[in-house]
């Protein structure tokens, strides 16, 4: 079993007396009864990710924010600070298996910001990532079958929630489906899409919960 502790990198960066960039980066660290070596490796993966995002904020976003703010005299009208937030959500933590996703929200002016999600599922006995194909070891067409199932689910949703997906969603599902864009939940395997992949901004990040693959039921129920 894994225990999770939270770590944070955060700072407000100024240009003159204007707070032009605020970043808040949350990332997990793990201990595990399955393998401490694996836990250390997984923890370092997220620590390295957090450091790289902090460097991105300082080296890329901050100069962009300064360039935008320098044209505002006496901070009037008030400059809307750029924002960068990274959070994570543990979606399944059972036995030696932990699944989670991180979301990176960035705001650089305009009507709204943007969110990008990335997910990982870890086997803490080895420290290796679990792949979507691992749940369908004898089905070479599992990707195509999942895509068709998602298309059916979108069609059903549109009957009660019109205009929540793009008209050409079937083509977009095929073009933007990413087998790495999944995480595990107690209810099954969750497939998700990024903003604007198959739906307008108001829909958010569409999610589709696949039934638990046959033979893997104990994976989602053991403590």
What is the C-alpha to C-alpha distance for residues 222 and 211, in angstroms, rounded to an integer? 17
Judge whether residue 223 has pLDDT over 70: no
Judge whether residue 58 has pLDDT over 60: yes
Mean pLDDT of 29-36: 98
What distance, in Å, lies between the first and last C-alpha atoms of the chain? 8
Q: Encode pLDDT of 162-186 as tens digits.
A: 999 999 999 999 999 999 999 999 9
Provide the greatest CA pair distance for the chain: 65
> Which of 19, 104, 29, 52 minimizes the C-alpha distance to 11?
19
Contact by Cβ (8 Å): 30, 79:
no
pLDDT number for residue 113: 94
pLDDT number for residue 221: 62
How would you label 134-166 residue by residue, b for 16+ Cβ within 10 Å and e otherwise? ebbeeeeebbeebbeebbebbeebeeeeeebbb
What is the C-alpha to C-alpha distance for residues 57 and 83, in angstroms, rounded to an integer? 9
Q: What is the band of 138 on the pLDDT scale with cuts at 50, 70, 90? A: confident
What is the C-alpha to C-alpha distance for residues 83 and 108, in angstroms, rounded to an integer? 7
Average pLDDT of every residue of the chain = 94
Contact by Cβ (8 Å): 28, 89:
no
- Domains of the chain (ranges, CATH numbers): 2-129 (3.30.565.40), 132-220 (3.90.640)
Mean pLDDT of 197-218: 90
What is the C-alpha to C-alpha distance for residues 99 and 119, in angstroms, rounded to an integer? 8
Q: What is the band of 214 on the pLDDT scale with cuts at 50, 70, 90? A: confident
Q: What is the band of 215 on the pLDDT scale with cuts at 50, 70, 90? A: confident
Q: Is 115 exposed, middle or buried (0-12, 13-18, 19+ CB in 10 A)?
A: middle
Contact by Cβ (8 Å): 127, 38:
yes
């Amino acid at each position: 079993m894994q225990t999770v502790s939270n770590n944070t990198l955060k700072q407000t960066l100024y240009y003159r007396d204007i707070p032009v960039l605020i970043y808040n980066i949350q990332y997990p660290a793990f201990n595990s009864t399955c393998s401490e070596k694996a836990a250390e490796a997984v923890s370092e993966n997220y620590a390295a990710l957090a450091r790289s995002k902090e460097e991105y904020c300082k080296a890329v976003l901050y100069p962009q924010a300064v360039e935008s703010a320098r044209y505002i005299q006496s901070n009037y009208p008030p400059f809307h600070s750029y924002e960068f937030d990274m959070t994570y959500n543990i979606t399944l933590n059972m036995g030696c298996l932990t699944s989670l996703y991180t979301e990176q929200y960035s705001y650089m002016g305009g009507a709204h910001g943007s969110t990008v999600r990335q997910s990982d599922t870890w086997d803490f006995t080895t420290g290796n990532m679990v792949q979507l194909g691992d749940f369908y070891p004898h089905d070479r067409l599992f990707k195509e079958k999942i895509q068709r199932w998602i298309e059916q689910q979108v069609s059903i949703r549109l009957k009660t929630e019109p205009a929540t997906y793009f008209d050409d969603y079937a083509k977009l599902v095929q073009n933007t489906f990413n087998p790495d864009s999944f995480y595990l939940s107690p209810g099954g395997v969750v497939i998700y899409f990024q903003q604007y992949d198959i739906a307008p901004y108001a829909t958010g990040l569409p999610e589709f919960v696949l039934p638990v693959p046959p033979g893997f039921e104990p994976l989602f129920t053991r403590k």
